[in-house]
Structure 1
Amino acid sequence: MTNLPCPPDNLDRWRQSERDRLIEARQKIPVSVRQAADKELAKRLDALLGDISGRIISLYWPFRGEPDLRHWAAACRKSGAGTALPVVVAKATPLIFRQWDAATKLDKGVWNIPIPPADAAIVIPDIVLAPVVGLDAQLYRLGYGGGFFDRTIAAMRTTGPSPAVIGVGYDMQRMETIHPHRFDIPMDHALLVPA
């Protein structure tokens, strides 16, 4: 399907239609195929990132067929990296990142996605992995529509050293364009693997 420019009054509806289509397609990928793709994604992350010792990596808890990188996170911790999960604090605000490891007892956050508890340390990641619903050739990410990652990246870029932001997903999530809004922020890197 070729993505043609949409009139501004239809853009939100078009984006929601694309979200629905891409999420449905991702969830139809057999679990065994996703697991193989996730291993390939982990290899590509290792190659891209190199030595991660002493760095803090923000992952995400897999949701609605997103790549599951929790095993890779465990390997990162064994290599001396710290890991964190993003936490929604309030609607229309940047995310915060709380320290997370295999021993962390998780609470339920927005959409019942597991998050570290309120007493977990807040950290500033060096690397942020952002799951994509769709990703275009200019590295603009189509997410779930809340704008959390864009607000977070914008805030981090204005307040200090900016983390490397990597969009991750599957090849079937590639798009010609997401028709970015003025507040959309492109990823620094993207890793999409066959699934």
Structure 2
Amino acid sequence: MNVQNYFENAETMDLAKDMLGHTFTYNSNQGEFSGIIVETEAYLGPIDMASHSYNGRHTKANDPLYQAGGTIYIYSIHSWLDMDISIQKAGTPNGILIRALQPLKGIEKMEINRNKTGFDVTNGPAKWMAAFGIKNKDLSGTMLNKNNFSFSTKKVQAPKSILATPRIGVKNKEPWTSKNMRFIVEGNPYVSKLAKRDMNLETYGWL
């Protein structure tokens, strides 16, 4: 799979769902970190009041959103770092936020980086970034599968059920606050803000 084709030739909302079950990997100076994507949020560029490119806003910082599909966009929210993937062809600044990962490789180092164990290590967008040891925006603007970050060509797990919910932290931006643009693997315990009663600890929500 050509990653650029993948991120440029489908609807952003469809891609946000399809990314669930693919692996995301970071080759760092600490070694290799990887996890399965279990939660995403779609952002629809200039029309989306919650998007960093709403109304065509274009700055040096958010420029990666305007680049080819598959470009990494790292940004800070309340002193924490989050990561979007640029979606659609260059010039159309849509993005998909990777909100949570189920760890695969490097788990012991993730636990040290986060000073946490269990599901709390990677069950949120800033949490998995910290677990992977990403401390700055130096790699913002780099391309998936060409540099430090890679995205698996195929799913390694298939979700049994995908739930669509409103995005988290999007306040006072109606009608965009209420739109179901967050996608989760139903029951996966690494999904952010998931109540214990909703966790499927047998299959983690995979087929």
Between structures 1 and 2, the one with greater helix share: 1
Place the TM-score, normalised by the shorter chain, in its bin: under 0.3
Between structures 1 and 2, the one with greater strand share: 2
